Homo-oligomer: A and B are copies of this chain.
Amino acid sequence: MEGGIPRAAAEELDAADPLAGFRDRFVITDPELIYLDGNSLGRLPAATPDRLREVVEEGWGEGLVRSWQGWIDWGARLGDRLAEHVLGARPGEVVISDSTSVNLYKLAGAALDAAPGRGTVLMDAEDFPTDRYILQGLTAQRGLRLRRLASALDGGLDLDVLRSALDQDVALVVLSLVSYRSGALLDMAKVNELARAAGTRVLWDLSHAAGAVPVDLAATGAELAVGCTYKYLNGGPGSPAFLYVRGELQAELRQPVWGWFGQREQFRMGPDYDPVPGIERFLVSTPPLLSLAAIDPALALVEEAGMARIRAKGLLLGRLVDDLADAWLAPLGFRPASPRPPERRGSHVSLYHRDAWRICQTLAADAKVVCDYRVPDRLRIGPSPLYTRFTEVWDALARLRQVAAGRAYASRPTGLARVT
């Protein structure tokens, strides 16, 4: 496989990569397999199985119910670490809890109840399905209007479109910092400022941003956020999500799901719900401890690498994808479906191809490259800076070129991927 960029260029990038050593901190059972779907499910950190065994055998098996003494605030402690190293928030502003969808429901519900008299929720029409459905449900139940803003062709929401939609009726704006489809990265500070000027709030979904791009919730004046821990944070399948509420705002918001983990002096079991003033008021119930525990060693890797180095490598990986796509894939019917340059997006890149589904399937089955597909015609390529090598990107795109050129994929049935 030859082309505009020699493999030696990728080899040089690997040689100069300050994060190269982190790859060995992950379980990689098949070195032939190129995994470019860390934006869906991050790889297994090598430290995780032992940590889980400890929690299961010593914590649960030996400690039994007594272990809850040490477990009960684990979600808050992990939240503080996320706040410091990943999200740019202050202690007591982030907590791990439930799923991203449930957290979105709780925080959007709280924000809407705190904005009486305003009747519109704004969102990106291209946002992730669960965000759209959750907001449809909340607005339908409250008799509010959900206005879905159209994104630009490359998947980025035009701030002028947002600005012109921000009127006095807007109760809440819900946006993903990084688009799940195109990878488009918004300007958090500017969006927060626009919303503030219109007297409203933004609830950020950071699922595809956390662990991929530096986030500074404090400095950008962000008030509300939720996000996922199993993508670039490598917390494991379905690991519980995080939520952020700016400190100054916590006491005035009340979320709709009044569970006992939000209760002041929880084990007094008092007759009436009386939520703690802090971030725990946004909790509901006993966390799924084994899934929570897996976040701990995963987060340690991100902390050690640091978001600045992760982002720097992510940009170089993204640039390599762009350059190879231009050289090898454009002639085969692929078109960019993400903004450029890489500074304008998160860590994943999308490409249009009318046969994206069949190419994606063939690539996995015949060429040992796992990336993913999004309806109707997009291939998502998600290098993850902690474990993806530059040579893997080069090899993956070379194999993709071969698959797309060979056209053997055309004999595959069409269908739908089942990935989360």
Contacts and interface: CB of A to CB of B under 8 A. Distances in A.
Contact of A285 (B44, B100, B267, B285): B100
A168 interface: no
Contact of A136 (B68, B101, B230, B272): B272
Contact of A133 (B52, B59, B273): B273
A239 B240 CA distance: 12
Nearest to A70: B418
Contacts of A174: none
A372 interface: yes
Most buried by B among A30, A61, A272: A61
A419 B68 contact: yes
A291 interface: yes
Interface string A13-45: 000000000000001011000010100110110
Given A105-B257, A418-B68, A375 B267 contact: yes
B133 A260 contact: yes
A105 to B, nearest CB: 5
Nearest to A67: B237
Contacts of A285: 99-102, 130
A102 B102 contact: yes
A265 interface: yes
A8 interface: no
A41 B289 CA distance: 12
A287 to B, nearest CB: 5
Nearest to A39: B65
A337 to B, nearest CB: 15
Interface in A44-97: 44, 48-49, 52-53, 56-57, 59-62, 64-69, 71-72
Given A27-B57, A41-B68, A72-B418, 8 more contacts: A65-B419, A99-B285, A128-B260, A136-B273, A239-B288, A240-B288, A265-B416, A291-B291
28 contacts: A41-B60, A41-B65, A41-B68, A52-B290, A65-B420, A68-B418, A72-B418, A72-B420, A98-B102, A102-B257, A129-B269, A132-B273, A133-B263, A133-B273, A134-B259, A136-B258, A137-B257, A141-B256, A236-B289, A236-B290, A237-B286, A238-B287, A238-B288, A267-B419, A268-B375, A269-B374, A288-B288, A290-B294
Which 4 A-B pairs have CB atoms at the shortest separation, nearest pair first? A137-B258, A288-B291, A237-B289, A288-B288
